[in-house]
Chain A
Amino acid sequence: MPLYSDTVMDHFQHPRNVGKMEDADGIGEVGNAVCGDIMRMYIKVRDGIITDVSFITFGCGSAIASSSMATEMIKGKPIEEALELSNKAVAQALDGLPAHKLHCSVLAEEAVRAAVKDYYDKNNIAYDPAVFGCDMACAHEHDHTPTEE
């Protein structure tokens, strides 16, 4: 059995919304190079809607695929909906990830939230800090232990 699903391989080999965004309204970066994966997510926001999104990622195939899938899932969506994006939903949309790669989907969820937080901070938009409870330092050390899909 191959390591990755066809969907993961498709998003890895043909990543959607990849690249830097010069005029982003919010930028979120999570992970660290010592652990072996870093995701940076850019969002553009108009009237509470994420009108554009892009990413750049240093990491394995599943990290790149998770980033790509996450951008597709939040593009054109209201910010509130983007904040509800779960790592589980990302992994499901990718037709599953190997157990030892699930942290990649956690990183994708966190990258989206970090970008939104940055947008809120830059625009002095009030929010409940509890929404961004974790410090997003390194996904491996996080407590959301997802189960295999």
Chain B
Amino acid sequence: MYVYADNAATTAVSPKALEAMLPYFSEVYGNASSLHSPGQRAAEGLQRARETVAKAINADFKEIYFTGCGSEADNQAILSGAALGARKGKKHIVSTAFEHHAVLHTLEKLKKQGYEVTLLDVHENGVVTPDDVAAAIRDDTALVTIMMVNNEIGTVQPIADIAKVCRERGVLFHTDAVQAVGHIPVDVKALDVDMLSMAAHKFHGPKGVGALYARKGVPLVNVIEGGQQERGKRGGTENIAGIVGMAAALEEATADLDKDMAYVTGLREKLIEGLSKIPHSRLNGDREKRVPGTVNFCFEGIEGESLLLLLDARGIAASSGSACTSGSLDPSHVLLALGLPHEIAHGSLRLSIDRMNTEAEIDHIIESVPQVVDYLRGMSPVWDELERGLTPHLI
């Protein structure tokens, strides 16, 4: 058995999405900007996909801009909000310390251009409060950008309440909903957000395609200059096959969302219960306010990369926020933002499941993880010192 439990990293393209895409590679290959019939057939496919994606989030199709990925959508939303603010002399942006790097690195770039950025504390439970946002907004705040679901720990932010605060204060609001769309209900009108980013490959669509929702009247700046594609806001010949695949995957993911959420939540609860039995372990992020499929644990005394490699050898694909897996000397900024010390953050494990996973797979994870944790603790000098009482247990 090989269990793929890294769906927050990416997912398999669903058979339905793949089937929808295939004709657009070799049969319906026209350029959607062309006037001839092959081009018009492509344009029709593009339009249908736009309507499908819009419907899934309760938007108008004219408010959907297809991009090359979720990161591009985040970049475009933030740069647009910043540019709009600057025209009114507003150069302050509010965000959080545990955003995706597509957001944080864009904000870093803006800081070098003279913008001021306030990164909100995410508290020990990984949830920002609307009061935090209200307190951070200033007269010169151009934009608030806060993710809907954190990618590493899976906590869901109170987006509707935050959007309300922003609306009352007249500040533009963007949410990175890459980990939310297709997994929990996302209704842009109910949430009342100005901009929202998504990525197809997080809900069993293909990689290389994302979308930005921008409410009517929100002026976008281009990240890619070019032709008149995407109402002139994103140059480049459209990736029609990818876009069609995104629409098909999203339609499928949202068709039975309540049922799927209940099913995945059940699996997740079993997973949390099973892993919580490991001594000196800790579930990261709020126990209740979380997306159905993402679970993040820290195990004291072990390091995440060796845990991942041994789990892979036992047929489990997961991820970790340890420094060794992040490619830097620091562990995940998300876990550090929760206030976890480095030595605990190094021993993190993220398991992200979805509707494609089975109960037997969860059983395999619950059986394997404690064995691997035990094995690694058995050869860990850190664990040795903890067990001998030379250093105090932190969790």
Contact = CB atoms under 8 A, between A and B. Distances in A.
Given A18-B379, A38-B382, A12 B309 contact: yes
Interface of B: 301-306, 309-310, 313, 322-325, 327, 329, 331, 341-343, 346, 379-384
A128 B221 CA distance: 67
Query: Among B304, B327, B384, which residue has the most Cβ atoms of chain A within 10 A?
Result: B384
B322 A64 contact: no
B305 A140 contact: no
A44 B346 CA distance: 32
Nearest to A101: B324
Interface of A: 9, 12-13, 15, 18-20, 29, 33-40, 55-61, 63-64, 100-101, 140
B381 A36 contact: no
Contacts of A34: 341-343
A59 B384 contact: no
Given A59-B303, A61-B305, A140-B329, A20 B384 contact: yes
A13 B382 contact: no
B305 A60 contact: yes
Given A13-B313, A56-B384, A58-B301, A19 B331 contact: no
Contact of B381 (A35, A39, A60): A39
Nearest to B382: A58
Contacts of B324: 36, 59-61, 101
Contact of A29 (B342, B343, B381): B381
A33 B394 CA distance: 13
10 contacts: A18-B379, A36-B331, A57-B380, A58-B380, A58-B381, A59-B303, A60-B304, A60-B322, A61-B309, A63-B303
A61 B379 CA distance: 12
Given A12-B309, A57-B380, A36 B303 contact: yes
Given A19-B379, A55-B379, A58-B301, 10 more contacts: A13-B313, A33-B342, A33-B382, A34-B342, A34-B343, A36-B324, A57-B379, A57-B381, A58-B303, A63-B306
B379 A15 contact: yes
Contacts of B302: 58
A48 to B, nearest CB: 27
A36 B379 contact: no
A33 B346 contact: yes
B379 A100 contact: no
Contact of A36 (B301, B327, B342, B384): B342
Contacts of B305: 60-61
A81 to B, nearest CB: 25
Contacts of A29: 381
Contacts of B341: 34
B112 to A, nearest CB: 26
Nearest to B346: A36
A64 B346 CA distance: 15
A61 B308 CA distance: 9
B323 A38 contact: no
10 tightest CB-CB pairs across the interface, nearest first?
A: A60-B324, A33-B343, A60-B305, A40-B381, A58-B380, A58-B382, A34-B342, A36-B323, A36-B346, A56-B379
A100 B324 CA distance: 9
A121 to B, nearest CB: 19
B192 to A, nearest CB: 43
A33 B381 CA distance: 10
B137 to A, nearest CB: 36
A19 B379 CA distance: 6
Contact of A13 (B310, B325, B329, B331): B310
A64 B302 CA distance: 12
A18 B177 CA distance: 46
Contacts of B329: 35-36, 140
A101 B303 CA distance: 14
Contacts of A20: 384
Nearest to A57: B379
Contacts of B301: 58
Contacts of B325: 60
Given A13-B313, A36-B303, A58 B383 contact: yes
Nearest to A19: B379
Contacts of B331: 36
A65 to B, nearest CB: 10
A55 B380 CA distance: 9
A52 to B, nearest CB: 17
Contact of A56 (B306, B323, B381): B381
A38 B379 CA distance: 11
Nearest to B329: A140
Nearest to B308: A61
A139 to B, nearest CB: 11
Contacts of B309: 9, 12-13, 61
